Amino acid sequence: MVDLIIVESPYAGDIEANIAYAKRACLDCIENGETPFASHLFFPQFLNEQEEVEREFGIERGYEIGTAFYWTSICRVEFNFRVAFYIDNGWSPGMELALEWWTRLGAECQIRRLTEGSAANGSSQIDTPDEERA
């Protein structure tokens, strides 16, 4: 069975550092035997993040792709669907919106932190949003 993980992590701000962090988060998923998808690494390859219309388009398409994966996982048993919020660099406004979106949809959400050496040995710390906010 495939574990499909939507990766949510900061993008705006220090974009170069945040891209490197998102890549480490994706590697962490792979090392945990999961298949990651990070729309914030995909869409900026051809959409201009500085143009609000293009940025919003990318965010909406990311939700649509994730939602399609979510509903497919409900209807079929070939894979599990989860959303992982990597928060070592904090919560961005976009991540807060994403948490609202995925929670409202009913998706399983996890809060993850890369521990020393993770993304090299799959040793991230995993909590639920409720545990994180307690």
- The three state secondary structure string of the chain is CEEEEEEECCCCCCHHHHHHHHHHHHHHHHHCCCEEECHHHHHHHCCCCCCHHHHHHHHHHHHHHHHHHHHHHHHCCCEEEEEEEECCCCCCHHHHHHHHHHHHHCCEEEEEECCCCCCCCCCCEEECHHHHHC
CATH number at 126 reads 3.40.50
* Predicted pLDDT at 15: 93
Global pTM reads: 0.81
Q: How many domains does the chain have?
A: 1
* Predicted pLDDT at 58: 94
Average pLDDT, consecutive stretches of 10 residues, N- to C-terminus, the chain (134 residues): 92 94 96 94 94 94 92 79 94 94 94 73 64 53
* Predicted pLDDT at 120: 47
